[in-house]
Amino acid sequence: MIAFVTTNEGKFREVSAKLLEAGVKIVHEDRSYPEIQTDRLEKVVRFAATVLDDQIRGDYLIDDSGLFIDAFGGFPGVYSSYVYKRLGCAGTLKLLEGARTRAATFETVFLLRTTGAHQVFHGACQGIIAEAERGRFGFGFDPIFIPDGAAKTFAEMSVTEKNAVSHRARAVEALVAHLRTQKES
């Protein structure tokens, strides 16, 4: 059994649903861990794992994600949590007023700890920042993100719809592929 360590219910909902489709069950471990200031999501999870390794027995999974907005040179990226808390969707839309491009990418990095080993998995989803907030599902920046090829924001999608295209779902797919190879060997 894998424990998914996150304080974010929305992440757990998405990951548990997607993993269940692949026959993998996880449990929610609602606890926070230190997140260092760095320029890469992968460094955040790698440092967090050094702390969690001493605190958690058995296999665990962590997820660090961010919204990288092109017009801001990728900001807020690794600082997404802080920007979401301080500015929210409304403040982010305001900052983008008059920007030359509304392109953005959501990224997720997972770290899986299994006996003695750390494995990292990536997922990304390109899209644009909407002109206004739309939808009431999901969490975080979902009301202002429209993935490429869609007309709806993530917040207008069901978990299943978001899981068909999202950054986090891509990372889950990479994780599932890894678990399959482990099973075979």
Q: What are phi and psi of 38, to 5 degrees?
A: -155, 175
Check: CB of residue 70 under 8 Å from CB of residue 40.
no
Cβ count within 10 A of residue 57: 7
Tokens matching residue 119? 């494995």
Considering the candidates 64, 70, 142, 148, report the single residue annotated as catalytic: 64
Task: Report 56-115 residues binding ligand ITT (CB under 6 A).
Answer: 63-67, 80-81, 84, 106
Task: Report 136-155 residues binding ligand ITT (CB under 6 A).
Answer: 138-142, 154
Smallest separation (angstroms) from ligand ITT to the CB of 184 = 30
Catalytic annotation present for 63:
no
Nearer to ligand ITT, 60 or 154 (CB): 154
Residues 6+ apart with CB under 8 A from 37: 78
Tokens matching residue 31? 């606890």
Number of shown-chain residues binding ligand ITT (CB under 6 A): 22
x/- contact string, 8-47, with ligand ITT (CB under 6 A)?
x--x--------------------x---------------
Nearer to ligand ITT, 27 or 180 (CB): 27
Nearer to ligand ITT, 81 or 126 (CB): 81
Distance of CA 80 to CAs 27, 33, 64, 111, Å?
25, 16, 10, 18
Q: Any idea what the Cα angle at residue 127 is, between residues 126 and 131, rounded to 5°? A: 160
Distance of CA 146 to CAs 14, 106, 125, Å?
17, 10, 10
Smallest separation (angstroms) from ligand ITT to the CB of 122 = 14
Smallest separation (angstroms) from ligand ITT to the CB of 105 = 12
Per CB under 6 A, 7 contacts ligand ITT: yes
Check: CB of residue 92 under 8 Å from CB of residue 35.
no
- Catalytic amino acids? 64
Question: Where does this chain bind ligand ITT (CB under 6 A)?
Answer: 6-8, 11, 32, 63-67, 80-81, 84, 106, 138-142, 154, 166, 168
